Amino acid sequence: MPIVLSGADPEARVIPWERRHVSLVGFGPFDEILPRQIVRLDAALRKLDNPAFPASFDSLMSFAPSGAIVLTGGRGVAALHDFQGRICDALNVPRQAHSFTPHIALAYGSRTVPRQVVGTVVWRVTELRLIHSLRDPTRHLIKARWPLAA
pLDDT 10s digits, 62-114: 988 888 999 999 999 999 999 999 999 999 888 876 678 999 999 988 888 89
Q: Give percent above pLDDT 70 in the chain.
A: 91
Q: What is the pTM of this model?
A: 0.83
The CATH number linked to 113 is: 3.90.1140.10
Q: Which of 22-60 are b and which e, b meaning 16 or more Cβ less than 10 Å from the residue's Cβ?
A: bebeeeeeeeebeeeeeeebeeebeebebeeeebbbbbb
- Write out the residue range of the structural domain in which residue 42 sits: 13-147
Question: Does 65 fall in a domain?
Answer: yes
Question: Does 138 fall in a domain?
Answer: yes
